[in-house]
Amino acid sequence: MKKVVKFGGSSLASAEQFKKVGDIIRSDEARRYVVPSAPGKRFDGDIKVTDMLYECYRAAEKGEKIAGKIKKIQARYQEIIDGLGLDLKLDEQFAEIEKNFIAQAGSDYAASRGEFLNGIVMANYLGYTFVDPAECIFFEDNGNLDGEMTYKKLAERLGGIDHAVIPGFYGSLHDGSVKTFSRGGSDVTGSIVAKAIHADLYENWTDVSGMLVTDPRIVDNPAVIETITYKELRELAYMGATVLHEDAIFPLRQEGIPINIRNTNRPQDKGTVIVESTCYKPAYTITGIAGRKGFASINIEKDMMNSEIGFGRKVLQVFEDNGLSFEHMPSGIDTLTVYVHQSEFEEKEQNIISGLHRAVAPDAIDLEADLALIAVVGRGMRRNRGTAGRIFSALAHKHVNVKMIDQGSSELNIIIGVENRDFETAIRAIYDIFVTAQL
Amino acid sequence: MKKVVKFGGSSLASAEQFKKVGDIIRSDEARRYVVPSAPGKRFDGDIKVTDMLYECYRAAEKGEKIAGKIKKIQARYQEIIDGLGLDLKLDEQFAEIEKNFIAQAGSDYAASRGEFLNGIVMANYLGYTFVDPAECIFFEDNGNLDGEMTYKKLAERLGGIDHAVIPGFYGSLHDGSVKTFSRGGSDVTGSIVAKAIHADLYENWTDVSGMLVTDPRIVDNPAVIETITYKELRELAYMGATVLHEDAIFPLRQEGIPINIRNTNRPQDKGTVIVESTCYKPAYTITGIAGRKGFASINIEKDMMNSEIGFGRKVLQVFEDNGLSFEHMPSGIDTLTVYVHQSEFEEKEQNIISGLHRAVAPDAIDLEADLALIAVVGRGMRRNRGTAGRIFSALAHKHVNVKMIDQGSSELNIIIGVENRDFETAIRAIYDIFVTAQL
């Protein structure tokens, strides 16, 4: 059994947090490959080490003295080292970093030192081998991961090591210079490592006890999702839910490796498991609710449009010619509505209207702005008849006017269009009916 | 006040029916322009006069003797004339018809004689002027109405006549030969006459007390729709409701002339009024329910399809290239479903699947057949929050699995996809909740 465990910055901000992480790792001998982030904020208003490094490097670029700033950063690590009672000095590393900063080694190099140093501390603390990702994670010159070389080298390097610490967030270009991930950071490193060693599980330890059913800014203290499929996750993420970046999910989805999102501060919580597919019955009929404001709808009316072959295609062609992608296209008999992002639409509004007139000669075009889309997502909806009924009854009860309904054959989600001002009310109503009332 | 009144074949099948029609016309002096059909069936198993004429003409085409058949047709009219106690002989007309049949005057001419003769009887019975539509309704050689000439001639001819009978169903080509309407029959004549004389109302008298909320083969004795807009009518008709043909509605919609569908056998019933728009509050939240079986859905999955500009357009292009129009295209986040007519799709299935693979390289394509679409239509739905909730609760209660939901910005209808086998159950459930229970 092999688990890759990744810890976020807040899990490694102080010696106290390091000890929690140590306890977690030592409590399960399968936790053999550890991916640490750089130390995060210890308290509100604190500065992350990565931000200190950026600031220090900017000073170096301007030719300013940086010895004082370097010393401050080293103090952050020394505080952790001392707190853990380790016999470890980072003087040599900091001297080299200072030299490279002055030699303008690049901001990617600068940023990556937070993880690099934390990896050294972590390896020392755990007694694991330190593996520098600059030697086994590679990028193409265009910034994309060189997957072929990376997975080959990682498998080779880690194949002979039972227990290793591999810092997150960076690798190297083929010329050897350090390059960071442009999106997803250390989560992506953990995911790549898990894929490379064919891990049984990828644990992603953060400061929340998993993914929440909905946005905690809208619903107080929402329930945690126990199990979610990649597909559900992708749908919720698309609609604005904060989760792992797509780039961190993609390598694992390819391999079918589950992800467990856990809370370093509450290791007793089971967190959220993200899986390819599962028979595990969800706790509630729905898995999650997410949504976004800021859509506009273009409602096109034309008598007998259904008998015009190519009508819908011509409408979409106009949007495409204007570089706009559409979100949904619900249709009645003689009406067809296109939902787009309002901000993208506004600047092209008149071009699109005149384009539609030329393309399909509609009887009427109506625009409506300030709309929100809400996705109610859940593999359990297929099994539970009446989900749609409960949603729309709940919305009616809260006086929410439903502008659009869209449910395709996947039966995995229902998309609902409401006015922006009804957005929070609608999400709360749906949450209450499925989670609070457990209907 | 000018009303055009059209009577269907069953309203004019016998002298008894003629008397009801006479009473109706005489009870309102605005009923000044009468459009009769040919005599219909007097009883189950009876033959319509039009069918007798077709059969007689086919015999003439084969060179058979037709004197006996002509005599039988004349007897039908004589029975009406005698029953009404009129001093009218049709010998001259029948002699000319027999001559023209033998001279192969065409099947349009043959069919039209049913209305022509009934118009003569009706004019005589009412004391109205007989106007032959061959002299004022004109067709282009391609069979389309020559609207410009028709409306000009009709207005001229009827302008000087206070009370006229204009038989339905036919007019003439520019060479003078008789031509019948290919669709919609006498209903279209009534509509054209109403438009030509700028009528205040077009009354269409039949053997039902108006349009029904839903199909009487599915729901026993459904309620009558009191008022319906052209838009609602069009939507219900598209989904299979039996109503006036589009060609009979189009001229009136242009002019905003209301249509009143009435029952000759129950003139005390108000029937259904079809209007351009109305403030009249509908009796029920919904105006009507109609639907059709025989759809298939093509469910296309692809990760990140939403971020691919042109995805939807390319999908529809494949259907268009195969000559298929789509009915609805609901979409989730990474899924997009296209509903098409199953019979049209089946023969092109593999072409479309391979076309989709080439066009958008989907992750998966799933097909589902034997689906039905149901349209719940009603201008009242906009005013009544919770319509969708009630529909889907009712369907869940009856164990109907909802495969698709589509409601655009028009809020005039909700389209629901179900399996063919759930079709009748679903319609009954929706009818019961809105009409029987009046929720």
- Residues A371-416 have pLDDT tens digits of 999 999 998 887 777 788 888 888 988 989 888 888 876 678 899 9
User: Residue B347: pLDDT above 80?
Assistant: yes
3-state secondary structure of A291: strand
pLDDT tens for each residue of B11-69: 999 999 999 999 999 999 999 999 999 999 999 999 999 999 999 999 999 999 999 99
pLDDT tens for each residue of B88-142: 999 999 999 999 999 999 999 999 999 999 999 999 999 999 999 999 999 999 9
Q: Which tokens hold the place of A380?
A: 């359990």
Q: Does residue B321 belong to the interface with chain A, where contact is any CB pair within 8 Å?
A: no
Cα gap B236→B214, rounded to integer Å: 9
User: Residue B380: pLDDT above 70?
Assistant: yes
Which positions in chain B touch A240 (Cβ < 8 Å)? Answer: none
Proportion of chain B above pLDDT 70, given as a percent: 99
For residue A364, the chain B residue with the least C-alpha distance is B410
pLDDT of residue B284: 87
Q: What is the mean pLDDT of chain B?
A: 92
Greater confidence, A11 or B332?
Answer: A11
Q: How far is CA A259 from CA A27, A35, A202, A226, A250, in A?
A: 19, 14, 5, 12, 11
Q: Which tokens hold the place of B2?
A: 């000018």
Query: Do the chains contact at A393 and B393, CB–CB below 8 Å?
Result: yes
Q: Which of A238, A304, A395 sits opposite B389 (nearest CB)?
A: A395
Going by C-alpha positions, the residue among B269, B160, B277, B170 that lies closest to residue B230 is B277
Burial of B16 (0-12, 13-18, 19+ CB in 10 A): exposed
Confidence of residue B410 (pLDDT cuts 50, 70, 90): low
Q: Does residue B217 belong to the interface with chain A, where contact is any CB pair within 8 Å?
A: no
Q: How far is CA B222 from CA B116, B209, B367, in A?
A: 36, 11, 35
Going by C-alpha positions, the residue among A163, A170, A46 that lies closest to residue A115 is A170
pLDDT of residue B235: 86
Q: Look at chain A and count its residues.
A: 439
Cα gap A376→A418, rounded to integer Å: 13
Q: Which tokens hold the place of B73?
A: 């047709």
Lowest mean per-residue pLDDT among A177-186, B78-87, B88-97, B375-384: B375-384
DSSP type of residue B400: P
pLDDT of residue A115: 97
Domain ranges of chain B: 3-207, 288-438
pLDDT tens for each residue of B279-331: 877 788 899 999 999 999 999 999 888 778 889 999 999 999 999 989 999 88
User: Residue B238: pLDDT above 90?
Assistant: no
Distance of CA A146 to the CA centre of its chain: 21
Rounded to two decimals, the ipTM of the complex is: 0.73
Q: Which secondary-structure segment (H or E) carries B121?
A: helix B107-126
Q: Which tokens hold the place of B404?
A: 């698709």
Query: Do the chains contact at A335 and B397, CB–CB below 8 Å?
Result: no
Q: How many other CB atoms sit within 10 Å of the CB of residue A260? A: 18
pLDDT of residue A385: 72
Q: With beta carbons less than 8 A apart as the criterion, state whether B65 and B74 touch.
A: no
Proportion of chain B above pLDDT 90, given as a percent: 76
CATH class of A3-207: alpha beta
Residue stretches of the annotated binding site of A for substrate:
50, 115
Confirm or reject CATH 3.30.2130.10 for domain B288-438, answering yes or no: yes
Q: Does residue B74 belong to the interface with chain A, where contact is any CB pair within 8 Å?
A: no
Cα gap B174→B180, rounded to integer Å: 13
Going by C-alpha positions, the residue among B403, B383, B384 that lies closest to residue B392 is B403
Q: With beta carbons less than 8 A apart as the criterion, state whether B25 and B4 touch.
A: no
Confidence of residue B334 (pLDDT cuts 50, 70, 90): confident
For residue B115, the one-letter residue type is: E
Which residue of B392, B403, B404 is the best one to mutate when testing the A interface, meaning the one whose CB has the most A CBs within 10 A? B392
**Based on C-alpha coordinates, what's the Rg of chain A?**
25
Distance of CA B411 to the CA centre of its chain: 24
Going by C-alpha positions, the residue among B216, B210, B168 that lies closest to residue B40 is B168
Query: Do the chains contact at A404 and B409, CB–CB below 8 Å?
Result: yes
Give pLDDT < 50 ranges for chain A: none
Q: What backbone torsions phi and psi does residue A164 show, to the nearest 5 degrees?
A: -140, 155
Residues β-bridged to residue A297 = A339, A368
Q: Does residue B317 belong to the interface with chain A, where contact is any CB pair within 8 Å?
A: yes
Which positions in chain B touch A396 (Cβ < 8 Å)? Answer: 385-389
Cβ under 8 Å to A: B residues 240-259: 246
Going by C-alpha positions, the residue among A76, A100, A104 that lies closest to residue A90 is A76
Residues β-bridged to residue B418 = B372
Q: Which secondary-structure segment (H or E) carries B94?
A: helix B91-102
Cα gap B401→B414, rounded to integer Å: 16
